[in-house]
Structure 1
Amino acid sequence: MDEKKRTTGFAEKLVGAVSSAIRESDIIGWYEQGKVLGVIYTELNQIENLPVADVLEHKIQKTFKESLDRSIASKIVVSLHVFPESREKSSQDEAIDEKLYPEDRKRQNGRKIAMFAKRFVDLTGSLALLLVLAPVMAAIALAIKLGSKGPVIFRQQRVGQFGKRFDCLKFRTMTVDNDPKIHQEYVQNFISGKVKEETENETNEVVYKIKDDPRVTAVGRFLRKTSLDELPQFWNVLTGEMSLVGPRPPVPYEFEAYDLWHQRRVLEAKPGVTGLWQVIGRSRTTFDEMVRLDLRYCQRWSLWLDIKILLATPLAVFKGSGAC
């Protein structure tokens, strides 16, 4: 009970500190044309040229230092959540303004050398894999062409870091005349936790992909089971749209169904071909757990963690745990 009281008291102190830093009468500027960002301040003489998010962060951190013990205040990270910036159709394709997230920019700036090394690994790794796997990819392309009508490569728009849209490349695994609403409805139900458990090998687990999807071709089932359909994504890595390791890139209608905390996964890092949840649970895990694993990866990221995930990926693919 004493611990609960201390925790509750500290939480109330934090809320009080934030409340004292926020005043309804102050105005700092505009978040969007014709719309006020929210709580805003008048005493901006010294920092008036900073972005809105920087001013908010500066004000709140200053209040924390004045209201709390300095050793505690220095450990508190202020995160500002102000997206999706708009749900209007005209702005759905616009990327998120990175300036609204100073804590992400500061963390990335502090990792410039490490991020350069990560990009170097992405470039050399993706190029090497594309060259080595070229015969395999050619054989897959031939099998797809002989197996069903339609293009070899399937392009699907995905949401990358900071909401930037890009065409994610995969080998086509479905018939060309399929109804995309089937997957859209399934994903929305999966995110909201309404998908019923599927039984396979005497284990009850919620499956991310649609089990026994009738739209998938015979060749496509094999490619999905082995994750070979994702090999073209190495081109996305080479062009800088993706990384070898990172959070899974959502499709736009999936992103629109996200809760606020889910959306952090598109802020923290570039999307990856593989990631922590893929090697731990593959497609068989709850959506919330998938997001938690993605966020855990971003928070604990290191080159060594990337290497461990890359080394664990072939075994996860071979075991096929969760693949559909």
Structure 2
Amino acid sequence: MLRAADILCALSGLVLASPVLLVLLIAGYVDTRAPLFRQQRVGAGETPFMLTKFRTMKPDTRHVPTHEADAAAITPLGRFLRKSKLDELPQLWNVLAGDMSIVGPRPCLPSQTQLIEARRARGVFNARPGITGLGQISGVDMSTPEKLAELDQQMLGSLTLASYCRYILLTMTGKGSGDRVRDKMQ
């Protein structure tokens, strides 16, 4: 049932957002000359996949978890994309491909071993990773791996079509702050 909802939401989102996607692709090209960002992430069953997002940081930024990245690497367009969460729109293609769900635990980098261990211990990798979830709307990011894995497990244990729709609605209305980025002074 939730996979059908994923496909319906992803297709609808891509069709409805196609003008926005086009404008953001052009703006991203002007901003960095490389509007899309692809990065290997850990998916269901700990299988790696390539996640696609709009680029929010300078192209030469190190591939590290967001909370370890330098805030100075975020472009002006990137700040807007992160705040509005529009940087996530290209992940709808990942949902259609079956690598992700709309709602699920945010996919981590293979280098985030502490989070991987915490999620493995809680059975979180039995589900597809998602664009949004309980951690995101609660303001908990990957800088607190144990807490995030607990919330992932809690969300997956009680995920219904109603809660799935609730997570999407809360995300679209601005609930949650996204992953923290290191301040320049740190």
Tell me which of 274, 283, 286 is aligned to 2:132: 274
Contact kept in structure 1, 2:119 and 2:149, CA below 8 Å: yes
- Tell me the C-alpha RMSD between the 2 structures: 2.2
Contact kept in structure 1, 2:106 and 2:129, CA below 8 Å: yes
Q: Please report how far the alpha carbon of residue 284 of structure 1 lies from its aligned counterpart in structure 2 after TM superposition.
A: 9.0
Partner in structure 2 of residue 121 of structure 1:
5
Contact kept in structure 2, 1:282 and 1:316, CA below 8 Å: no
In 2, the alpha carbon distance for the partners of 1:221 and 1:245 equals 23
In 2, the alpha carbon distance for the partners of 1:124 and 1:258 equals 30
Alignment identity in percent? 37
In 1, the alpha carbon distance for the partners of 2:106 and 2:11 equals 21
Partner in structure 2 of residue 215 of structure 1:
73
Q: Please report how far the alpha carbon of residue 154 of structure 1 lies from its aligned counterpart in structure 2 after TM superposition.
A: 0.7
Partner in structure 1 of residue 154 of structure 2:
296
Partner in structure 2 of residue 23 of structure 1:
none
* TM-score of the aligned structures, taking structure 1 as reference length: 0.51
Gaps of 5+ in 2: 181-186
- One-letter identity of the residue aligned with 2:45: F
Instruction: Give SS of 1:119's match.
Output: helix
In 2, the alpha carbon distance for the partners of 1:273 and 1:322 equals 11
Larger radius of gyration: 1
In 2, the alpha carbon distance for the partners of 1:241 and 1:137 equals 20
Q: Please report how far the alpha carbon of residue 210 of structure 1 lies from its aligned counterpart in structure 2 after TM superposition.
A: 4.9
Tell me which of 42, 56, 60 is aligned to 1:177: 60
Instruction: Give SS of 2:79's match.
Output: helix
Q: Kindly provide the CA deviation profile for residues 210-249 of structure 1, in whole angstroms up to 9, marking residues without a partner as x.
A: 5861211111111112111110000100111100100111
Q: Please report how far the alpha carbon of residue 315 of structure 1 lies from its aligned counterpart in structure 2 after TM superposition.
A: 2.2
Contact kept in structure 1, 2:124 and 2:156, CA below 8 Å: no
In 1, the alpha carbon distance for the partners of 2:8 and 2:32 equals 34
| Count of matched residue positions in the alignment of Structure 1 and Structure 2 | 179
Q: Kindly provide the CA deviation profile for residues 2-58 of structure 1, in whole angstroms up to 9, marking residues without a partner as x.
A: xxxxxxxxxxxxxxxxxxxxxxxxxxxxxxxxxxxxxxxxxxxxxxxxxxxxxxxxx
* TM-score of the aligned structures, taking structure 2 as reference length: 0.86
Q: Which has the higher contact order (CA 8 A, sep 6+)?
A: 2
Tell me which of 173, 177, 183 is aligned to 1:321: 177
Partner in structure 1 of residue 118 of structure 2:
261
Q: Kindly provide the CA deviation profile for residues 91-131 of structure 1, in whole angstroms up to 9, marking residues without a partner as x.
A: xxxxxxxxxxxxxxxxxxxxxxxxxx111111111000000
